[in-house]
Structure 1
Amino acid sequence: MGRSPFFLRSHIMTFAMSPDPDAYAALQEEVERLRQALDDREARLRQLQETLPACFYELHRSPQGNLSWHHVSRGSRELLHLEPENFGSWVDRIHPQDRPRWHQAIATSEATDTDLAWQGRVTLPQSQDLDYAVIRLLARPQPQADGSTRWQGLAIAVDAPTVHATPNQTPAFFASLLEILPVAVLVKAAEDFRFCAVNSTGAQLFGRKVEDLLGKNDYELFPKDQADEFRRVDEQVLTHHEVVEIPLELVQVGDRNRLMRVRKLAIWDGDRPTHVAIVCEDITEQETTKAQLAQQERTLRAIMDNAPIWIWTTDVSGHMNFINRTFCDDVGVTPGQVYEAGHYQEVFGEEAVRNCVESDRISFAQDEPCFADEQFPFVDGQIHHLETIKVRLKDSQGRVTGLVGLALDATERKQAEAELAQQRSLLDTFIDTAPVGMAILDGQFRYLQVNENLAKMTGYPVEYHLGRSLAEIVPDLAQTLHPRVQRMLETGDPLLHQTFSGQTAAQPGVERHWLFSAFPIRDRNQQVIAFGATVLDITQRQQAQDQLQRLTRNLQDAQRIAHIGNWEIDVATGQTTCSDEIFNIIGIPVRQEPLTQEEMFAYFHPDDRPRVRQGIRHCIDTGDSYDIDVRIIRANGELGYVREKCEAQYDDVGNLISIFGIAMDITERKMAELTLRESEERFRTLVEATTQIVWNANAKGAFTSEQPDWSEFSGLSFEKLRDWGWINSIHPSDRNETTAVWSHAVQTRSLYQIEHRLRRADGQYRDMSVRAVPIVDEEGNLREWIGVHTDITDRKDAERALQQSEAKLRQQAENLQSTLDELQRTQNQLVQSEKMSALGQLVAGVAHEINNPVNFIYGNLTHADEYTQDLLRLIATYQHQHPEPDAVVEEMIEEVDLEYLIDDLPRLLTSMRVGAQRIRDIVRSLRNFSRLDESEFKAVNLHDGIESTLMILQNRLKAKPESAGIEIVRRYGNLPLVECYAGQINQVLMNILANAVDALEERDARRSPSELDAAPSRITITTAVTEQKSVQVVIADNGVGIPPNIQKHIFDPFFTTKPIGKGTGLGMSISYQIITDKHQGSLTCHSEPGLGTRFMIEIPIRQTRSAVPDSR
C-alpha cells in the first residue's frame, strides 16, 4: 500500500484457556453441530405446538416493566378459548385472589434468574359452562443486554373441565405425540413408581432401550443415593399437588454424569393421582458450550482491556460506542463519559482532535485500512504521537455500520529515533577517533565500516576496504581469523583478546603482533547479522613481554633453588605482589592473583606479627631497611622459619612508592640449631635431675672410670665394679641373659635394652629397666656407651597385682555372661510364647467364625443338588412333552444357553462341594494349630499336628505360575498318643518346615525349568517309635544343604542367614529349648552341602511329672 515496513510492539498476556491448538476449531464444529440440532428441535417443536393440548408462548418484559406476548401457539384456543393475537388479555381475567401471586412470580423469576412457575384461576368467556379454569405457566428467563427479560415457556390446564377425546386423541395419538417431543418424557405409576411410559428420547438419554425401562423403578436403574432422591421428589409431587422443577441436576448415566433440567408433575384421575410425569432435558452440551462461549467473551474482553494499544468503535455518525481501558487510562476519562458525550470533539475539544476527525472521514470513504500519524492530548497534559489504523465495519449485507480503530502510542519511539540518530553520530565519531583499529563486517566477512587506524595497519585506504572481504585485504591472516570468527557467529559468544601474528601490505616482510577482539551484532530478532572487531598493534609490548618473561623465568629458577621469594607493597594502594616462591614457602598452590596483606600476615606466627608490622611501618616512616628472623605457620600447620629483609623504593623525585622485600626459607637451619640446643639442654638437665642410675662404659663395655650413681645404689666401691665386676650386682638368675645381651650390643654396636634385678645396698633386689646407646666420634668410631638404669619395681608389682585381678574379673565376667545368656533365652522364649498364645487365640476365633457359615453351605449343598436334579428332570420332561416351544421360550433358551447350563450346573455344584470340603479341612487344621496357647501337658496325635502345619503351609507348597511346587512325602509310622505341649510342638514343626520351604524356594528361583523337572523340590517327613520308648520325627529336604560353619551356630539365639526384616534368629533357638528343656528330648541337624538337610526330633512318649517344666 505504499507504506514502509514498520515494527510492532507486542504485549503478551496469559489466560486460562485450553493449551490444545485445535481446541477452537473443535469448539466451532461443536457449535455448528449444536446449531443444526437446534434447528431440528425447532422444527419438531413447531410440529408439537400444532398437536399438543398446551399453549407455547414468548413473554417480553421491557426495562420499564411493560409485558408483551409474542409467538403464541394455537393451543391458546383450546386452553382459554382465545386467539393467539389476543392471548395477552387473559392476564386481565386472572382471579383477583391469584393476581398478586402472578405479579410476584414474574418479579421473583426476573430478580433471581430462576424459572417462572405460576398456577392460578382464569375466568373463561361467558359462553362457557364453567366460570374459570386452573392453568399453570412454566417458563425460563433469558436476561437481555438492554436490560429487558424474555421468557419462553408453555401454559397447560391443571384442573380443567373434562375434555372429550377427539378422534385424534387416541392412545396411539398420545404415543406418537410423546415420540415427536424433543425432550425425554417418562411416566411412572403412582402406586409403585414403576415406569409405564417412556419415549425414545428418554431411553436414549439414559443409554437404554425403552423395553429395558418399562416396568422398572429407580432403584433398578440408578445408584441408591440418586434413587432415594428421585423417590423423595416423586412423593412430594403426589403429596403437595405441585409441579417440582429442578433447573440443574447431576444424573449418573452409565459411567458418565450428565446435567439435566427436570420437571415433575402429578397426573390425576378425579381426586386421585394416578401417575407422575417427568420431563427431562439433557443440557450437558448446552451448558458446556455456554461456559466455553462465556470464557471466550471474557478472554476477548480481557485481551482488549489489557492490550497496550487503544481500541474503540464508532457508529456511522462517529458516535463512540466502545472504548477499551487503555484508551480511558491514557486520556483520563471513563467509558461512561465517552458514551454519554459521543464524539471526540465533545470530550477533548475540536482543536485537540482535528487530525483524528479528518482520518475518520478518510476511513469512511475507502475500503482499505487507513494508516495515520496523529497527535492526542494525554492525562499527563502532554501531546502524544499516535500511530493509528482505522477500518470500516460492515454488516452481513455489506452496509457500513461504523468504524473500528487501533492506536499505538509512538511518542517514546519517536524520541528513541531521535536519540538513536544522535547516538549513531557519536558512535561514528568514536570509531573514527579511537586509538585502535576498529571495523564492522557482515556475515560474509565483508567490510561495512573501517576507521583510519585499521586502514594504516592493513596498508589500504578506508574506501578500499568497503565491500571487500577479509580474505581480500589480509589473505594470510584471514586463514587464522576465519574459523574463530565463524565459531563466534554460530555460538553468539564474544571473541576476546585473541593474539595473532603476521604480515600486512603496510609493512611486507615485517612480523607484527596484534590483539584482536570481536563481538556479534544482532538484529531485533536476536539473529547475528554482523560482527564488530577491534585490533591493537602490540608488537613492541609483545617484544617487551617476551624479554620480561625470560628474566622472570630466570629469577624464579634462582629463587626456587635458593628458597627465596620476593614481595612488594604499593604504598599508595596497599596492593601486594609476590613471586611464586612465596607460595611455595607458605605451602599453598601457586595462583595468578597475589596474596593480600591480610593473607600474608595470617601466615606469620601470632607472636611474631607485631615485629613484622613494626619493621614495615619503620621502613615506611624512616626509609630504613630491616633484617629479622621470624616464624611462620605453613598451610599444613607446620612451623617454619624465614629471614625477612625489606627496603623502601622511591621514584625519580624522591617520593616513596613501595616497600620491596625478600623472604628466605631458613627452616632447616633453624630446626637443626633448635634440635642441637634442646638436646644439649635435655641431657644436661637429665643428668642433673634424674633419680635413675646413669653410667658410662668404654667401647668394649667395661667400667673404666668412677660410677657414682651405681656405687651409691649398690654400696660397692669402684674397685669392685671395675671392668666387668658390675655383673656381680645383678640377680644370679638374670646374669647369664644380661651378659649375653650386653656382649651382643657391644659387638654389633646396637642399642642395649633389657630388664633385670639389681641388688641394692640393703640387700634387696629391685626390678630395673636398662637402656644404653653407643656414642661415636666424628669419624664414626665407637667412643663409649652411655646407659641408664630405671627402677621399675613398683610398676612390676602393680602389673603382677593387675594380672591377678584381671584373671579374677575375667572369671566373674564369664559367669555373668553365662547368666545373662540364660536370662535372654528365657526372656525371648517368654515373649515368643506370648506371641504364639495370642496367635493361637486369634486362629481359633477365625476358625470358629469360618466354620459356622461353611457348615451351613456344606449342609445345604445336598438339598441344592437334589433341587437341581428335580429342576433338570422337569426341564427334560417339558422338552419331551413340548419339543416345539413357542418363540418366546425358544428365545429364552438361546439367551441362557440351556444346553450348556444343564451340562455345567451339576459340575458347578460338585466344585462347590469340593471347595466347601477344602474350607472345612483348613478350619480343622486351624483349630488344631490354634492350640498354641494351651498350657496343660496332655497326650496328642503328632500326625494331626504335622498335617495341620502342612495345611497352613499349603499355599507355599503348591505350584504357582512364578514358582514350582514342593512335593511332600509322608512316611508315617504307627505312633501312639504322645504326652507334650501340643502348641509348642506345632511351633517347632512350623519353624522347621517353614525354613525348609524358604531354602527350597530360594534354590528353585535360580534353577531352570529343565532342572526343576529333573530334580523337583521335596520334603520327606518320617515318624517312628524308637526302642527307648520315644517318638522320632525326621524332616528332610533335598535342598542345597547347610555349610558346616553355619551348622554349628544354627541353634544359637539371634543367629540367622536371612536378610534384615526376614527373620529374627530366634526360631531354631526357641525350638531347641522347647524340645530339650520342655520335653526332655533332643533336636539335631544333619546336613551335607549339595545333599539336603535333615532335622531329627525325638521326645519321650510319656513324661515323668517331675521332669515336666512350666509351659511358660
Structure 2
Amino acid sequence: MKQVDKSKNLHQHSSENSTPPAERVNSAQDNESKFRNTVKQAPVGMAILRGEDFVVEMANDAYLSIVDRTEDELVGKSLFTGLPEVRTYVEPILLNVLHTGIAYHGNEFEVTLRRFGTPQQCFFNFVYQPLFEESEHASGVMVVATEVTQQVLSKQALQSSENQFRNLVTQSQFAKAILKGRDFVISIANESMLNIWRRRLDAVVGKRLIDVFPELEGQKFIDLLHDVYDHAKIYRENEAIAYVDGPGGLKKHYLDFQYAPILELDGSVSGIMASVNDVTDKVTLRQQFAETADRLSLATDGTRLATWDLNLQTREIIHSGRLAVIFGYDENTVLTHAQMRDQVMPEDRTAIIEKAFHAALQTGTYYYEARIIHQDKSIHWVRTQGKVFFDENQVPLRMLGTMMDITDRKESELALKTSEGKFRTLADSMPQFVWTSDTQGTLNYFNRSMIDYFGLAPEELEMNGWIQAVHPDDRAENQRLWMYSVEHGTDFMFEHRLKRFDGEYRWYQCRAIPQNDADGTIRMWVGTSSDIHDNRLFIDQLETKVQERTQQLIVANSELVRTNMELAQFAYVASHDLQEPLRKIQTFATRILETETGNLSERGKDYFQRMQASSTRMQQLIVDLLAFSRANVAEKHLESTDLNQVLQNVKDQLSDVIQAENATITSDELPVRYVIAYQFEQLFMNLVANALKFVSPGRAPMIEIRSGEVEGAAIALAEADPTTNYQYISFSDNGIGFDPQFKDRIFQVFQRLHNRSAYEGTGIGLAICKKIVENHKGLIDAVGKPGAGSTFIIYLPAEG
C-alpha cells in the first residue's frame, strides 16, 4: 500500500515538472481550497491532525459541534490541549495509526467528553486514516467521526427493557408465560406457571404449546390464542373450565387467565403473554360453602335463626328466607349485601358493624349486636355471628354465619335497666335468693331473703362473707365455675350447700346470667339461688328405693333364668320321656292288630285303631309344642343365609307330597339375610306344607313366592313402623282360603278353622311361624278369601 502511495507522489512530481511553476502554485492552492471547502461542508465530523503531537490542522463545523469546541480552541493546537479528557482513550490509537500507517475503525467507541459544561458519556463510529505526503511515513491522521450516542443508548435501553421484562415475567408471583409466533412456541415460563403445568423448564422451552399439552386440542384455548394474535386484543376470563392431563387422567380445573398480545415497534404482534391463576381450590371451596349454606338453611328452616354466606371477594351474599323476614320483607325477597348495610342504623354501622367486620378479617370470628330500620321506620335489634374462611395464603374468601332478631330480648334488657328500683323491690319480696355482681364477679347486691338467711349485714356479705357460708366441700368447685363464667361470659349454674345463720346447711341451686349492653359487653350479672334441699333429700330417698327395686329385679331375673332352665328340662322330657311311652303304645297296638286279628271283634279292632290314632296325634302335638317352645327360647344366633337355598331344602323334603299333589311352585329371587337358619327353614316348611294341605278338591296346588321392598307406611298392620323400610316375602296359594274375620285367630296356638277329620294338624304351625318372624323383629300378615286361596306375607326390616 505504501508503494502505491509513493508512485502516486512521483507521478504528481513529474507532472509538476512539466508545468510552469506559477501555474503549479495556483493549481495546488485551488485544490487545497476545494478540499477544505469539501471538508467544511461534510455532514460528518472531520479533522486533520499533524505530527506526533497531533496538532489540529483543521476541523469542520460538524466535528467542532460534536466535541463542543470552537475553532480557536482546537485549530493550531495539539488535540489533547483542547480535548484533554480523551487523551487516555485516543492517544494510543492515534500513535499506532501514525507509526504503522494502518487505518483504524472504531464502532460505538465509548469516550467521556466535557460538553456543555459537564462530562458526558458519548459513543462514536469513526475512522482514523493515515495521511502520507512525499515520505513513506505518515505525517498525520484524518479523523472522520459520527456520533451514535443516541442510537447506542436507545439500544441499551431496549436491551435493558427486554431484560427487565424477562425478569418481571420470571420473578412474578403470578403464573406467566411468553408464547412466540403463530405456533405459540414457549419462550419463557416462570416458576409459578411451571407449578401449574407440572413441568420442568427444559421440558417446555422451545416447544409448541399444543405439543406440550396435546389435550388442549378441541378445547377453546388454542382458538382464543389465535384470535388474540390476529386481532391484537387482550382476552380475559374467570373460572374457565380446562381439562388437563394428570397422573389419574384428565382432570377438571378452574382457571382465571389473560392473553395479552406482545407488540413490536411497528405495531405487529410477535407473541402472547399468558397469565394464569389456578382457582380450582377456591371454586371448589365456594361450591362446598354453597352446599353447606343450603344444608344449614334446611336445618334451621322453621326456626328464628337465619343463615347467610358472603363472598368476601365479590360481596355476593346467599341467605335463607328467614333473613329477609328479619329485615322486614317477604321470605322470598332476595337482598344484596349493600341493601342490608343501608338498613343498619347509621351510628351502629360505623361504631359496631364495620369495627366487627375488620376484626373478623383478622381473627376469623364475626360477632355484633346492632339495630336495623324496617321500611315502616320501626327499629329492630339483630345479633349476627359468623366465621371467616381463608385460602392457603390466609386471604379471606368467604364468611358464613347466622342472624337472629333479638328485639324482644333487647327491649327486656332496656326495661330491666330503666326499672332497677322496681327490680330491687320485687327481688326483696321473693323467697328465693336474688343477687347481682359487677363485671369482675364481685357480688354487690343481695335481696332481703339472702340477708335474713345468712344473718349478716349487706356490707359483710359484700366482703366475701357469702363464700364463707358455702360448705367447705363445695367451696373450691363453686369458685372455679364462677370465675370461669365471669372470664368467658357463660351462664353459671351450680348446686351447693349454704350455711344458715343457725349453723344448718341446706342445698341450693345457684344460677347466674350475664347482662349485656348494646355492643355485647357484659355490664353485670344477675343470679338466683333456690332452695332444693327437700328435693335433694327426696332424690336421695328415691335413689335408695331404685337401688332396692333394682336388687329385687335382679332376684326376679335370677328366678326367671331358673324357670327357663326348668322349661328347657320340660322340653327335654317332652321330646324324650313323654314320647317314649307313646311309641310303645303305638308299637303294641300295631302288634295286637297284626297278630290277634282273628281273636278281636270289630269293636275291639276299632278301639285299638282309635288308640293308635290318638297316640299318633299326641306324638305330633308334643313335637309341635317342642317346636313352639324352641321358637320362644332359642338364642338369636344370626348368620348370613341364602333364602333361595332354604326354599330349595324345603322343596326337597316335600318332594313326595309335591309330586303326589301335582303341585307347582314358582318363586322370585329371594334375598340373602342374616337369620336363624333352622328357624327360617321351619317357617318356609310350615307355610309350604299348609298350602299343600289346604287344597280345593279337584284343583292342582299352585304356590307363588314373591319378594320385594315396601315402606312401613304402606303396610296395613298397626305394629309397622312408618319410618322403616321392609323386605317382604309372600306365599300365595289357590287353596280353600279362609274368612278374613279369622285372620288373627289362625296365628294363635291350638286354633283351627276346620275339624280334624277334614284336615289333619294340631293348630300350632302358624303360631310357630308368627313366633319365628317376631324373633327376627318382623311382622306376619294373612290375606284370604273362602275358595279363592290365601296369601301369607312376611315383613322383615330392610338391612343396610
TM-score, with normalisation over the residues of structure 1? 0.29
Structure having greater relative contact order (Cα 8 Å, sep ≥ 6): 2
TM-score, with normalisation over the residues of structure 2? 0.39
